[in-house]
Amino acid sequence: MLEFIQLLKQRYQSVLNQQGNEARRTLYQLRIDQLILAEAFIRKGQLLNSSAVQPLQVAVIGPTQAGKSSLVNVLLHTEAAGVSPLAGYTVHPQGFCHGISLADCHDLPHYFGRFQQLQQSQLSKERYDCYSLTELNSASPYLPHGVLWDTPDFDSIDSATYREGVIRAIALADVLILVVSKEKYADQSVWEMMAFLEVLHQPTVICLNKLTEGSENLLTHSLQEKWRLARSDDFPSVVPLLYETQAGAPLWSVTQTALLQQLAQQVSHKKQARFTQELLQKHWHAWLEPVRAEHQCIADWQILCHEIMQAALDSYQRDFLNHPHHYETFQHALAELLILLEVPYFAGFLAGARKALTWPVRQLMKLSSKRQHITNSSHEVALLKQIAEHTLIQLTDKLLDKAEQHQQNDWWKALNSVLRTQRIHLLTDFSAAANTYHLNFQQDVEQTAQQLYHKLQQQPLVLNTLRATRVTADAAVIAFTLHTGGIGVQALVIAPAMLTVTSMLTESAIGSYMHKVESELKQQQLATVKQSLFIDSLIKQLLALPEQLSTLTYFNISQQSLDAAERQLTDKRHGLRLL
């Protein structure tokens, strides 16, 4: 699951960079934040699983200049955190070990993943994916033992650049301290963040800073209203922080000394796996909306490809297999039959021709050049190539129609450009496959001739009539000329002698057998063309075109990896596997 969330986040990030639509950009940015939170929360689960005892993690969060770093110092009784009147001063998560050692935090680098752990003094504004961890000797009465995190703000203009660090520190926390000042407590960003974090179910306390005397009750009441609007859990304790002018720092109220210790006792990790699952389920549908939209486009594209293949096969049948003048394959089988028959008049001629050729040349002619010549002169091969070209033109038209229909989604337009760049390559491949098919299919043609020849042998009357007819000899010469490259297959089909022999056979006792063999040959031919040309060559490549869409612009997450992630999400028995 972690890998899937990371992949999804990474794809959202690259797609966001290419996204021009402002509303989409805002939406995608929100989803990236949710994914960062989900990823961090899954990592937190892994951290808890990695060893039985983990130090308590407390994070101080809030808008810029609310006094987060100042409060961290107050709670720690030191000046460890940097305080400044400059907005956006703290830009890295900075952890301070209180009552524990650095060694107790040895699992944290794994939790932070690509974020690098540095010493506090090494943190620099040049690089945001870092955090620091500092061991302190101070002992604070307010703070339980554990790590106290000072975090960057989440509301300044620059905060988008270091937001991931804030979210990672927050997801790690067992207890949250929200610091708001009287100027900032009503800000939309504060309450959006609190609503965003509800799924983590962390014990929380709100610190009200920079108070002016007498305003405390009014502000607390207002805070309560804001909380109710943003969250459905109980309103937390509010700690008013009084400002100590002498020290120039807020003062933690004496009455609240034990508050953080009490919150620490409420911490329980029993429901971590369930909360993680709830978090994922809450956003799952929205996160995957663009991925599913792509899958829908792919499904539509598959339908389109199959429709177009059917249309191509229909025209192959209409213009070739079932076309009385164009269908040459069976005629070719008859030509082969004539050669097998060894017609008397023709035999002499054949012998002469054979003698004229040396043996190796004869072999060569038999094996390759004869077949190659037949393929080159084939009307079928030319027609198939034409059909392929026509199919791609039609596909382009359909893609443009789709692009027109779905103007808000430029998937179709992009696919059309991929098709345009691949067009020549697809046609070249198809053309090579058509030649190979045709060459290979000549075996079937020769087999058909053999079949007819055996049948004729069982019909001596027909056989003798054939052999004795002058026109058969003429046809045999034509057939032989085809072999030697003297004519093409089409010339053979329309040669009057061939036509006469064909009708003689059709009207003979083996007429119905001929029809049967011809129709079997056609069926075999259709099945072979469909499989080896349209399915294995053209459609396979067309269906793979969406994979070539840029991963910068598209999610390109396969249905299989989505299904696998979804199974993990919904399989309750394996809820813990999420971690």
Binding site for ligand GTP (CB under 6 A): 62, 64-70, 83-85, 87-90, 153, 209-210, 241, 243, 248, 250
Contact predicate 521/444, CB 8 Å: yes
What is the maximum span of the chain, computed from C-alpha positions, in angstroms? Answer: 130
Tokens read off for 91? 């830009």
569 binds, among Mg ion, ligand GTP, none (CB under 5 to 8 A by kind): none
Pairing of strands 56-61, 146-150: parallel
Of the residues 69, 209, 448, 472, which one makes contact with Mg ion according to CB under 5 A: 69
CB of 88 to ligand GTP, least distance (A): 5
472 binds, among ligand GTP, Mg ion, none (CB under 5 to 8 A by kind): none
Long-range contacts of 198-201 (CB under 8 A, 24+ apart): 198/230, 198/231, 198/232, 198/233, 199/37, 199/275, 199/278, 199/279, 199/282, 200/37, 200/41, 200/170, 200/171, 200/275, 200/279, 201/233, 201/271, 201/275
Q: Is 451 a residue that touches Mg ion (CB under 5 A)?
A: no
CB of 176 to ligand GTP, least distance (A): 15
Applying CB under 5 A, the span of 87-95, 123-131, 280-288, 434-442 interacting with Mg ion comes to 87-95
> Based on CB atoms, which residue is closest to ligand GTP, 96 or 480?
96
331 binds, among Mg ion, ligand GTP, none (CB under 5 to 8 A by kind): none
Of the residues 90, 472, 508, 525, which one makes contact with Mg ion according to CB under 5 A: 90
CB of 248 to ligand GTP, least distance (A): 6
x/- track of binding to Mg ion for residues 19-58 (CB under 5 A)? ----------------------------------------
CB of 29 to ligand GTP, least distance (A): 20
Cα dihedral sign for 509, 512, 514, 517?
A: negative
503 binds, among ligand GTP, Mg ion, none (CB under 5 to 8 A by kind): none
Distance CA 47, CA 108 (A): 8
Pairing of strands 94-98, 146-150: antiparallel
Q: Which residues contact 57 (CB under 8 A, 6 or more apart)?
A: 95, 146, 147, 149, 172, 173, 174, 175
Q: Is 508 a residue that touches Mg ion (CB under 5 A)?
A: no
Candidates 265, 23, 290; CA nearest to 144 is 265
Contact predicate 189/153, CB 8 Å: no
Q: Is 525 a residue that touches Mg ion (CB under 5 A)?
A: no
241 binds, among ligand GTP, Mg ion, none (CB under 5 to 8 A by kind): ligand GTP
CB of 93 to Mg ion, least distance (A): 11
Tokens read off for 508? 């003979």
Q: Is 159 a residue that touches Mg ion (CB under 5 A)?
A: no
Distance CA 80, CA 261 (A): 21
> Based on CB atoms, which residue is closest to ligand GTP, 159 or 451?
159
Distance CA 415, CA 474 (A): 55
> Based on CB atoms, which residue is closest to ligand GTP, 60 or 434?
60
Q: Total number of residues binding Mg ion (CB under 5 A)?
A: 4
Q: Which residues bind Mg ion (CB under 5 A)?
A: 68-69, 89-90
